[in-house]
Chain A
Amino acid sequence: MVGIKSYGAYIPYYRLERAEIARVWGGFAMNPGEKAVANGDEDSLTMAVEAAFDCMKGMDAKESDGLFFASTTSPYREKQCATIIAAVLDMRNDIRTADFGDCLRAGTAALSSAVDAVKAGTAKSIVVAATDCRLGYPYSQMEHALGDGAAALLIADSDPIATIDDCYSVSDEITDVWRRDEDHFVRMWEDRWVITHGYSKNVEQAATAIMKKNGLGAKDLAKAVVYGPDPRSHEALMRRLGFAPAQIQDTLFAKVGNTGAASALMMLVAALEEARAGDRILLASYGDGADAFLLTVTKAIDKIRDRRGVKSYLASKAALPSYGKYLVARNLVELSPGQGIVGRGSATVMWRTRDWVLGCHASKCRKCGLVTYPVQRVCYRCLSKDDYDEISLSQKKGKVFTFSLDNLASVGINPPIVQTVVHFEEGARFYCMMTDCDPRQVKVDMPVEMTLRRFHEFGDFHNYFWKCRPIREGGE
């Protein structure tokens, strides 16, 4: 029985009030609320990593047979992100990896491909991670609308928390919302046409068809999880499909914004957080057509209540104090170059050390038990050579051993940089920056967790590495 075995989500720590955008540009915020903004060291890949870790909590990623990455904002034009994420999750290498992109349906396209692969017996389970951080033109309604976030689902052939009963897709050639290969910001044709002949028409066709095919009416569904580009269009479509307010899953527009390829799956995670055994759920996404799915929640749903998911990450947040900080967070302004950071990128070095760079591997000495990061061939304490096991610190907790708030290190990148030495419960020490924090609140012994971030661009490729952050317990 193919279904969702686990879920996870990620929402960046920082939020921007839409009123602040309106204040800067004049005018008013057509929709109230706030949007989630990825920090300057985050991108679609790092957000997908967070959601995937949340999804795989308490599970062994080595048992999974694949990973699909879905985004319209992949950090690479040419190079797979799924392999990077698989390395971060410490997965096996005899697995199926693929990137889905270029369309807001990328998330559900990855989902249906995973469902098909598992159904066909090619894989027993596949992690699907959908993520986006699209940019609207400054001073546009799109700037108000778009937010950043990610969702992840583990699709498997056993123990589902929700079975995936049917899929239905519509393909429609329409240039309504797009970015050319050289475009930085999302473009859009006149909104009235985009909504009526793009969004509403396609989603209505897919949703109606899958319900009819399965002999279901609107009243038979516990939740309708339907993508919506904005609250007004979403509401109008849901009314036409015949759903009552209690059945309609919130689009997260007021709290996160439109997260593109991740949107429908983030809504699904939010729905599953509240779901009960027996609930039937309609899931539908939009983008050059529409994908629709029917799901049935099982009793196993109660086993997956410890995910941070949408609920917890929504509760853990801080307001960006100004539009200027938003520009910095999204790398939309060029800051004074200041003091250069000395370093050279090397693809071979990063490749050779990827187990500890991406997998966060420490060595545990078999003789004296000392745990050290990164992997040390000769033990600091007992000097035994090449006699260790590797353990990953990526999901371990630590405490700040010492720190500094460094203004010199941060010229040109939003001072101050919080530099820390983290002491892990396992005994290892990790020297890294702290991100997503209020520098004034940093203290010795403060509990922290690790998070993969984009570090720099040496070698003209993205160098990802670990930072620590205050534990985002949120609503847990």
Chain B
Amino acid sequence: MESIKDKVAIVGMGCSKFGELWDKGQDDIIIEAAYEAYEDAGIEPRDIQAAWVGTLNGMAGVTLSEPLKLNRIPVTRVENFCATGHEALRNACFAVACGMYDIALALGVEKLKDTGVGGLPVGRGLHPVLESRRTAPGTFAFIATRYFYTYGLSPEEGKRTIGKISVKSHHNGSLNPKAHFRRDVTLEQVISAPIIAWPLGLFDCCPTTDGAACAIIVRAKEARRFREDPVYIKGIGLSTNQMLPHFEPDFDWTGFEMNREAARQAYEQAGVKNPRREISMAEVHDCFSITELINYEDLGFSPKGRAKEDIDAGTFTLEGELPIQPDGGLKSFGHPIGASGLRMVYECYKQLQGKAQLPERQLKNVKLALSHTLGGPPQVACVTIVGT
């Protein structure tokens, strides 16, 4: 097996404003992200030779070709739960790496605020009775319950521990002009918020958000023709599991094998031996605060069962040893499902280039940035590592 390391580069990216965009349709946010990426790469729409669009709620390739008028070229819609944005990027990268195309576009988008209700729908419409009344917070609450039980945290201790994750992400989001939520919250606010699915409260859950993000991919050796500071793909790992691991007899509900496997694949390609030390920053899938906690462990940033120590030590804050969610994460930046993977890569790309909009957000000495999406309940995970 070959590695994708340094075969392709990102030469332009765009990201729409994230939030409750009542006055914008899906087409509007696609256009916003794509045209920022064109301008950033210094290309024209007609330079694009192939495109991938990632979205859960779209319909075929026309989801993208219609608003952008990308007629005649191949456009494919991909969908892989919450890893959808990463999946669009991954397909575009492999297509360019094999030499089939010179310039490809990957865009992720979701328009969630047109349904009339908050939160994602109950169930996904699989077998008529098998899914129970499955909700995203309900399933991740299973993880919290079992994690607290397994590692001996009382519900109060557990809630304080994961609450600190939300406080950190809200602070990071407060500094970011494109984020959905731009305000700090206190630990007391987080802990006393209304319960969505015990033990998860309102501030343990990411919002439902509208947004889009886009990347322009070229072969690595041609990247400098487009810009001085291209960002190179160092590794992409993807791992899938069962649709309903709820029924899987050996599943321990305290961590995800596909997280570990996707990370293993990406680390191997990128040549990362010690992720805690070698990764400069990470955007991980924090659909819920407890998810971020187990990601620390699955991605090798914290030892299994001991993420609490690093959380308490402030390891993952902007000033910490390994900043995580510098843009606010799903929690604060928002989670338009199909867009999230590319939104994370957008933050990595900007941080690597030293172009985080405000100086107080800009991290120092960023060499290798990791982004991670997790489709869940644990079904699919993708880890994408980019660097200079």
Contacts and interface: CB of A to CB of B under 8 A. Distances in A.
Interface of A: 338-346, 349-350, 353, 357, 370-374, 380-381, 401-410, 416-417, 419, 421, 427-433, 444, 455-456, 458-459, 463-465
Contact of A370 (B125, B133, B145, B249): B249
Contact of B128 (A345, A403, A444): A345
Interface string B97-140: 00000000000000000000101011111111111111101110
A353 to B, nearest CB: 7
B208 to A, nearest CB: 11
B149 interface: yes
Query: Which interface residue of A350, A380, A381, A464 has the most chain B CB atoms within 10 A?
Result: A380
Given A339-B119, A349-B127, A404 B249 contact: no
A8 to B, nearest CB: 25
Given A339-B121, A371-B249, A433-B133, A346 B128 contact: yes
B197 A344 contact: no
A402 B145 contact: yes
Given A421-B246, A430-B247, A408 B132 contact: no
Q: Is the interface of B mostly helix, strand, loop or mixed?
A: loop
A432 B134 CA distance: 9
B131 A343 contact: yes
B141 A406 contact: yes
A372 B247 contact: yes
A434 B279 CA distance: 43
Nearest to B377: A431
B197 A407 contact: yes
B133 A341 contact: yes
Contact of A380 (B139, B248, B253): B248
B133 A409 contact: yes
A346 B129 CA distance: 10
B60 interface: no
Nearest to B136: A408
B293 to A, nearest CB: 15
Contacts of A374: 130, 247
A429 B119 contact: no
A409 B146 contact: no
Nearest to A403: B145
B132 A405 contact: no
Query: Which interface residue of B131, B138, B195 has the most chain A CB atoms within 10 A?
Result: B138
B146 A408 contact: no
B128 A339 contact: no
B250 interface: yes
Nearest to B145: A402
Contact of A421 (B119, B142, B200): B142
Nearest to B130: A374
Top 4 A-B pairs ranked by shortest CB distance?
Answer: A404-B141, A431-B246, A405-B198, A465-B129
A425 to B, nearest CB: 12
A401 B132 CA distance: 16
B261 to A, nearest CB: 16
Contacts of B134: 409, 419, 431
B96 to A, nearest CB: 35
Contacts of B138: 404, 406, 408-409, 417, 419
Nearest to B124: A342
Given A380-B250, A406-B137, A431-B244, A340 B128 contact: no
Given A339-B122, A371-B249, A406-B197, A432 B132 contact: yes
B151 interface: no
B196 interface: yes
Contacts of A403: 141-142, 145
Contacts of B137: 404, 406, 408
Contacts of A380: 242, 248-250
B230 to A, nearest CB: 42
B135 A406 contact: yes
A339 B119 CA distance: 8
A339 B133 CA distance: 11
B142 A417 contact: no
Query: Which interface residue of A373, A429, A459, A464 has the most chain B CB atoms within 10 A?
Result: A429
Given A403-B142, A409-B135, A340 B121 contact: yes
Contacts of B119: 339, 408
A444 B133 contact: no
A404 B197 contact: yes
30 contacts: A338-B117, A339-B117, A339-B119, A340-B121, A340-B122, A341-B123, A343-B126, A345-B128, A357-B129, A370-B249, A381-B249, A402-B142, A402-B143, A404-B142, A404-B144, A404-B198, A406-B197, A406-B198, A407-B196, A407-B197, A408-B196, A409-B133, A419-B132, A431-B130, A431-B244, A444-B145, A444-B146, A458-B128, A463-B128, A463-B129
